[in-house]
Structure 1
Amino acid sequence: MIERIAVFGATGDLTARYLLPALAALRAAGHLGDRFRLIGASREGWDGDRFREWAAGQLDRHGQAFPAEARNAVAAFADYRQADVTDAADVARVVAGEDPVAVYLALPPALFPHAVTALHDAGLPAGSRIVLEKPFGEDLDSARELNRLLADLVPEEAVFRVDHFLAMTTVQNVLGSRLANRVLEPLWNSTHIAEVEIVWDETLALEGRAGYYDTVGALKDMVQNHLLQLLCLVAMEPPITLGERDLRDRKVDVLRSVRLLTDHDVVHRTRRARYTSGRIGDHAVPAYVDEEGVDPRRRTETFAEVELELDSWRWSGTTFRLRSGKALGRDRKEVAVRFRSVPHLPFGHEGQALPNVLRFQLEPEGLTLDLTGIGSSAQTLTPLSLTARMEPPALPAYGRLLLDVMKGDPALSIRGDEAEEAWRVLAPVLRGWESDLVPMREYPAGSDGPAPRPDEAGQRRSDLLYAEGLPDDAP
């Protein structure tokens, strides 16, 4: 097991909010011994004492769920090197040593090729591993080039393209619910399922992340990686095992089966928008274009939606809708599996049976099954919901991923061909949006997002009825 992690971009938000607390969780769970070392590297002119002081402050802020001993140990493990990640000599000073090191590139994707080239020139100890945050490249061509550079540096099994969504309890439970319950798997196909909606709507606005977000946008930041990964877990064929080869082979099969969108499809099956000024609760939110650090000329979207279909025996005829938006009026983070309606209702005209929906809530984590039941009389139908809450995970998502990196288990990382296939799926959307085939719409901060197309209105109403528990004839 690797006992040394070098983080490039160590003074950024990712390290503060996720990596440091994840290490504290691993220490508290007994996975990090006293020999473990964290080397932070960045352009900041800090020394080890300054970095340890900063790390201790961030752990007190973001890692309060973990014991003080674990937080203090992680801060004590830390050291710092000022380094330019594109300079091989600087990189060599960070990774120097005989023991293998896990190199974590907590960097913007545009820097990945330069950092990997510098690592190649610097050399890595035998058995070292490379960790890259999503998105993996900026388009299909850059993903292919990045994979070529990585292949010249370390074996594919030593490359960890991490996506923390894959380590979330509810995401793992998508597979558990499907594959461990006989009542579900026979229904898990287009004969019974009309639509799968994969949604990450959040009330959070830009929150000072313009330096990263304005160069990426919702499509690349969320849909191309997180939401496509969820699509893979929902739609994949049952793997022989959950080992890295079987699991990742089946995920690649799903991406390969996605029908590529034509220009006509891009116009009619995708939406993009960005928020204008508004209010979220008691908080006034400026328009996206007025946020500090945003360049309006980039025309970056804060809302993206794509409808996909799979050309496969299991899923032909089912729509998969992937959607993510910022600064919306309510958080909705879930995978909603919507079943087809029953063929006949013998209940007269009092009430209506809405489609059954199985919801995997991602944050907070839980599971809900929306049903229709009998109301006050035998002729009255009413919505019912069965809800289960997940047990708190033993490790946070980033803790699980870091442990996999140190142990060398790549099952939950993205394989090189999988990363390329994900870009292939969205390449027509990127081209269409760059050519302005789809207008940039707007929505007020704190709203439900851009107005749906006419053909979506009924579906959106069905969602609201179930979410709010209202009768079908509610105003």
Structure 2
Amino acid sequence: MTAGVVVLGATGDLTARYLLPGLAHVAQTVPGGLRLVGVANDDLDTAGFRAHVHGAVARYTPDGPDPEVAALVDAAAWVRGDVTDPATLAAGIAAAGVDDTDPLVLYLALPHGLFRPVVEALAQVDLPSGLRVVVEKPFGSDLAGATALNAALGRLLPEDGVFRVDHFLAKQTVLNLLGLRFANRVLEPLWSSAHIESVDIVFDETVDAQSRAAYYDRSGALRDMVQNHLLQLLTYVAMEPPTSTSPADLAARKADVLRAVRTPDRDHVARWTRRGRYTAGTVAGRAVDAYTDAPGVDPARGTETYAEVTLHVDTWRWGGVPFRLRTGKALAADRREIVVRFREVPHRVFAGEAPARNELRLQLDPDRMSLDLNVNGIGDPFALETVTLDTELARQDPTPYGQLLLAVIDGDTRLSAHAAEAEEGWRIVEPVLAAWADDVVPLEEYAAGSDGPA
């Protein structure tokens, strides 16, 4: 089996940072080899694209490119043209040179506004039976757009040929949620509102938006992170036990969670959400300009760089438990974790202050897992102290993007979002976006390098 990977937008930042290093890690594991085709409108030839591939892998792979990367570079081909032109797409597919039944991945590493034009152009191309179409987030810019894009993709391919990828789902800690919950008798009986008080899903970043500001200003933290990444993490935390780990079973349980999330009305948005935008400051000793001073930013848009949304999952298991989703840029520290906070013990046996609440923390980068427990103290045996059981999880090999690419080549949709998940995500965040646009929630300011809005 030879696999072909045709990347539309082959010279973009996403391709250089993530796709090409991911392909370099997995190319030699594909039986029969992997053929890479880059498609874009840049003034390049095949030699220029091969140099670009080698340079990107060298720059964004910590230990530099392995010798095996040479095979990927040597087999790379280049097609110059408009990615919304059926002739360009046909040329890209032909350049991959794979048999009709071999897997052919068409990766849309493009601005989301080009997704539908590309899909509609593909409808005019003779497509191989082994085609898989990969769409990066954000999947549309609103519910209507996501629904229309799903419909266009549905006319082109069956659902198992569409991959709405989210590299968060390939992170080791996220995958470990399945094993942690459904392979341990000790934990799953506690996994409900009877024992859990709240859940925080946090992705704080010290990085600012400067290098991506022109794109980011048309997106913002809520669209860029909450609508897809953090809601996907929510589904793994809150899903009911699936009957198996098959793609169909996992997709069904994840969609059930999102359908159960209460649609935020304006009162909910006013009470349970916050938004902010960073001003000039210092992050880890580095001076950071205000977001509004970044190239390509229109201050009048009021784009948020910090978003916090508390959601409620209206099911028997989770009634009354707040799920707080939070993300921000240019903050004081990188904090990427899921925190499950358990309720107080029902009766205090020990004198003094109430025992600290048990917390289970799943850190996403680096991958770690820790659990806070109360034990008897060393000095006074009837006093309590809190200890943390902590373990570092094995580092992934290949990287999350490498895992994604292997799954797509294998036709495994478990690391992707189903059509219903994409639409439900927009159903949840659209009322928040609308209320924020009407200033129901003020746009707060916070200094770069701080902990966020006061």
Aligned pairs for 1:290-329 (under 5 A) are 290-329=293-332
Instruction: State which of 61, 73, 77 in structure 2 corresponds to 1:79.
Output: 77
User: SS in structure 1 opposite 2:396?
Assistant: coil
Please, what TM-score do these two structures have when normalized by structure 1? 0.91
Deviating more after overlay: 378-387 vs 437-446: 378-387
Q: RMSD across aligned C-alpha pairs, in angstroms?
A: 1.5
Structure 2 residue 241 is matched with structure 1 residue 218: no
For residues 73 and 211 of structure 1, do their structure 2 counterparts lie closer, same or farther at Cα, with a shift above 3 Å needed?
Answer: farther
Structure 2 residue 422 is matched with structure 1 residue 419: yes
Give yes or no for contact 2:2–2:31 (8 Å, CA) kept in 1.
no
CA distance in 2, matches of 1:27, 1:139: 35
Deviations 1:131-171, CA, capped at 9 Å, x for gaps? 00011111100000001111111111100000011111000
Please, what TM-score do these two structures have when normalized by structure 2? 0.96
Give yes or no for contact 2:272–2:309 (8 Å, CA) kept in 1.
yes
Deviations 1:437-462, CA, capped at 9 Å, x for gaps? 111111100000012xxxxxxxxxxx
User: SS in structure 1 opposite 2:68?
Assistant: helix
CA distance in 2, matches of 1:424, 1:365: 31
CA distance in 2, matches of 1:420, 1:133: 15
Task: Give the gaps of 5 or more residues in structure 2.
Answer: none
Instruction: State which of 192, 196, 202 in structure 2 corresponds to 1:193.
Output: 196
Give 1:42's aligned residue.
40
Give 1:145's aligned residue.
148
Deviations 1:175-205, CA, capped at 9 Å, x for gaps? 1111111110000000000101000001111
Give yes or no for contact 1:347–1:378 (8 Å, CA) kept in 2.
no
Give 2:388's aligned residue.
385
Aligned pairs for 1:37-186 (under 5 A) are 37-65=35-63, 68-96=66-94, 99=100, 101-186=104-189
Give the number of aligned pairs.
448
CA distance in 2, matches of 1:116, 1:188: 41
Instruction: State which of 399, 403, 419 in structure 2 corresponds to 1:400.
Output: 403
Instruction: State which of 431, 443, 446 in structure 1 corresponds to 2:449.
Output: 446
CA shift for structure 1 position 374: 2.9
Deviating more after overlay: 10-19 vs 182-191: 10-19
Give yes or no for contact 1:352–1:381 (8 Å, CA) kept in 2.
no
User: SS in structure 2 opposite 1:53?
Assistant: helix
Give yes or no for contact 2:58–2:64 (8 Å, CA) kept in 1.
no
Give 1:31's aligned residue.
30
CA distance in 2, matches of 1:91, 1:239: 39
Aligned pairs for 1:13-24 (under 5 A) are 13-24=13-24
CA distance in 2, matches of 1:123, 1:433: 45
Give yes or no for contact 2:446–2:453 (8 Å, CA) kept in 1.
yes
Give yes or no for contact 2:214–2:295 (8 Å, CA) kept in 1.
no
CA shift for structure 1 position 394: 2.8
For residues 209 and 323 of structure 1, do their structure 2 counterparts lie closer, same or farther at Cα, with a shift above 3 Å needed?
Answer: same
Give 1:12's aligned residue.
12
CA distance in 1, matches of 2:426, 2:11: 29
Give yes or no for contact 1:197–1:337 (8 Å, CA) kept in 2.
yes
Structure 2 residue 280 is matched with structure 1 residue 277: yes
User: SS in structure 1 opposite 2:241?
Assistant: coil
CA distance in 2, matches of 1:278, 1:381: 41
Structure 2 residue 431 is matched with structure 1 residue 432: no
Task: Give the gaps of 5 or more residues in structure 1.
Answer: 452-475
CA distance in 2, matches of 1:74, 1:210: 32
Structure 2 residue 359 is matched with structure 1 residue 357: yes
Structure 2 residue 242 is matched with structure 1 residue 239: yes
Q: Which amino acid aligns with 2:268?
A: D
Instruction: State which of 373, 376, 388 in structure 1 corresponds to 2:375.
Output: 373
CA distance in 2, matches of 1:135, 1:2: 30
Deviating more after overlay: 12-21 vs 441-450: 12-21
